[in-house]
Amino acid sequence: MTQAIVVMGVSGSGKSTVAEAVAEKLGVAFIEGDKLHPKSNVDKMSEGIPLTDEDRWPWLDLIGAELRKGSESNGVVVSCSALKKIYRDRLRKATGGPLAFVYLDGSLELLSRRMGERKGHFMPLSLLQTQLATLEVPTGEPGVVTVSIDATPEDIANNALSGLKTVTF
């Protein structure tokens, strides 16, 4: 199984929770991708302003550097929205080796409910529609596992791990 993994999806999909659980089960490092955002990105999102590609490039490059470091050591799982194929391709290139993606898939209703229940997160519910419009579902891309989020976090993490065992690049 590859030891460089991105748990991806829109806000409210459970990226951080699932990525942390997967990392723990694999015994590898977990990196919260949101913590790598520059303050300017966090400020924009907090104000309900969607990020542009130009806003995202430096952030994606930081994530890519962490993925490369992790893949060269004991492994790493990173939470990152990775909404567009061009973002995922940039991360693949930066990693320099096999990179798996776990795409967390859920309905608008479920995502909205989850976001409404979150406390202390900078991403407002108003940006969910923008993220869904930006999302390029990674169907058919190499190294991608799609997992439904209509389950408990434990089951989602276990389903992700099962899928990762069969992933091809």
Which residues 6+ apart lie within 8 Å of 106 measured at CB? 9, 12, 13, 114, 148, 149, 150
Q: Note the pTM of the prediction, 2 decimals.
A: 0.91
Which residues 6+ apart lie within 8 Å of 9 measured at CB? 15, 81, 103, 104, 105, 106, 149
Domains of the chain: 4-164 (3.40.50.300)
| Ordered alpha helix ranges (H), 81-166 | 85-95, 108-117, 128-134, 153-164
Tokens of 11: 């806000």
Q: Strands 144-148 and 100-105: what pairing?
A: parallel
17-71 pLDDT tens trace:
999 999 999 999 999 999 999 999 989 988 888 889 999 999 999 999 999 999 9
